[in-house]
Chains A and B, each alone.
Chain A
Amino acid sequence: MNKDDVVGEALKDTRKELEEVDREKHLVKAVKMLEEVEASISEKEERFKDWYSLHFPEMVEEVDNIQHLAKILGSEVEKSEIESFEEMASKSTGAAITQKEKEIIESVIGNLESDLVLREELEAYIEDLVKEEMPNLSKLLGTFLAARMIALAGGLDEMAKMPASTVQMLGAEKALFRYLRGEGTPPKHGILFEHEFVRPLPNNERGKMARFMANKAVIAARLDNYGDKHKGEELREETREKFEEVKR
């Protein structure tokens, strides 16, 4: 190839590769976005409850779930006007509000509501995508743990190439590097801790289980990436057996 052709070819090839659809990348971004949205919701929730308590503290006491609270306050925030809470309102110790406060509180709860909707949409999107693209891993770990694992690994392809020991540490990088610097003990698990077969175990058994899980997770990821997409059930069964054994 002469030099001009090299430049032209390389540019063409690279452009083509960049254009290819890669759903995993969207998954990684969606998981990160979901984490942000969740963190933001929980902060706003606290702040909003604190604020609304000035006006109607009894309501905040009574309805802890933010989704329910948003639903109730979605159409009306003035306590005397909220349907089926008239009695509670009449005994309320909260202060009255003017039209101005009413408006701004409505805006805040409206914003929270749309965050809640966004969270649901993200969750549904992630769930569908994970089930479709990595059925084995999602069977083994559950959809969200699988999704977060892929996000930490940087993609399914990347995870499939990882040794199980690396997978075991995903999410525990801080502790791992602290250990490598010579301070503290090695971490047993990263986000694998959240798995239903790891978390319930006593502290001294979790490392063993996490190691086992990591091995199975890598096998699942490799099958998803290169091979048989229907081994999830089998892997999960093997893991369950191990869990029962360790639990005893």
Chain B
Amino acid sequence: MRILKEIQPGIFKREGLIYTENSDPGNQVYGENLIDFEDLEYRRWIEKRSKVGAAIQNGMKIDLRPDMDVLYLGAASGTTVSHFSDILQDGIIVGIEYSDTVIKGLVNLAESRDNVAPVLANARNPEEYDDYLSEYDYIFQDISQKDQPEIFLKNCRKYLKKEGIGLLSIKARSISDARPLEEIFGEVKRKVSEVLEIVDEVGLEPYEKEHLVIKVKWP
């Protein structure tokens, strides 16, 4: 029997592929494979479809624990959100998405999972969603905008708990078309580290081009 091994809380690996335990058994979210192992069903976490999946494959320990409450900025149609939802046993995910077209996927996801809260709002204005939770254990952001570091910092300042963890996916080409990668990443890291402490970073090659994921906590 090929063995499925838990490599990080709630994240499993078998033969080089990663999985989460399906909390909505029998149903796929984005066309991923479902497998059975010891009477439980697992969903393949496709690295090419999810920046977090790619970061995990490239060796990052994301430090997401099952009891955390997550603020997810740029939730889109819920591909990565669905895996977070599998991992979180006691916590919830508040997913912020600005586009009313793609949020429809997230709404559908929320219907079948009881820990996903879809919110139609602009992550640039964190006040827009302060009705929900007032602080979070974990903030993840995947937004392709020029001011992505500023958006992240704004949200961390308002919502990230003292012992919380932040994960930021940076898309270099949203910041500048022309400047060299190192310069762009350097600038983002400098901005972020003025406020937070960067504890880990990983590039997403070969799954995504010109992306960097950084992990932060309060200093």
Contact = CB atoms under 8 A, between A and B. Distances in A.
A181 B91 CA distance: 45
Interface of B: 69, 91-92, 94, 100, 103-104, 107, 110-111, 114-120, 131-133, 177-178
Nearest to B115: A7
Q: Is the interface of A mostly helix, strand, loop or mixed?
A: helix
Contacts of B131: 1, 9
Interface in A181-230: 181-182
A48 to B, nearest CB: 36
Contact of B100 (A3, A7, A13, A17): A17
Nearest to A4: B114
A10 B132 contact: yes
Contacts of A3: 69, 91-92, 115, 133
B92 A6 contact: yes
A4 B69 CA distance: 12
Interface centre among A4, A11, A14, A17, by most chain B C-beta atoms within 10 angstroms, is A14
Contacts of A104: none
Given A9-B132, A18-B100, A181 B117 contact: no
A248 to B, nearest CB: 40
Contacts of B177: 177, 180-181
Interface of A: 1, 3-4, 6-7, 9-11, 13-15, 17-18, 177, 180-182
A14 B111 contact: no
B94 A6 contact: yes
Nearest to A1: B132
A173 B111 CA distance: 39
B4 to A, nearest CB: 29
Nearest to B92: A3
Contacts of B114: 4, 7
B103 A181 contact: no
Given A17-B120, A18-B120, A177-B177, A6 B133 contact: yes
Contacts of B92: 3, 6-7
Given A3-B115, A14-B120, 14 more contacts: A1-B133, A4-B114, A6-B92, A6-B117, A7-B92, A7-B114, A7-B115, A7-B116, A11-B107, A11-B110, A14-B107, A18-B100, A181-B177, A181-B178
A37 to B, nearest CB: 22
Contact of B117 (A10, A17, A18, A182): A10
A9 B111 CA distance: 12
B142 to A, nearest CB: 19
A10 B131 CA distance: 9
Contacts of B120: 13-14, 17-18
28 contacts: A1-B132, A3-B69, A3-B91, A3-B92, A3-B133, A4-B114, A6-B94, A6-B117, A6-B132, A6-B133, A7-B92, A7-B110, A7-B114, A7-B115, A7-B116, A7-B117, A9-B131, A9-B132, A10-B94, A10-B110, A10-B118, A10-B119, A10-B132, A11-B117, A14-B107, A18-B107, A177-B177, A181-B177
Contacts of A180: 177-178
Contacts of B91: 3
Contacts of B104: 18
Nearest to B178: A181
Contacts of B107: 11, 14-15, 18
A13 B96 CA distance: 13
A18 B94 contact: no
A151 to B, nearest CB: 15
B75 to A, nearest CB: 11
A18 B119 CA distance: 11
10 pairs of A and B residues whose beta carbons are closest in the complex: A10-B117, A7-B117, A14-B118, A6-B132, A3-B92, A14-B120, A11-B110, A10-B119, A17-B120, A6-B117
A6 to B, nearest CB: 5
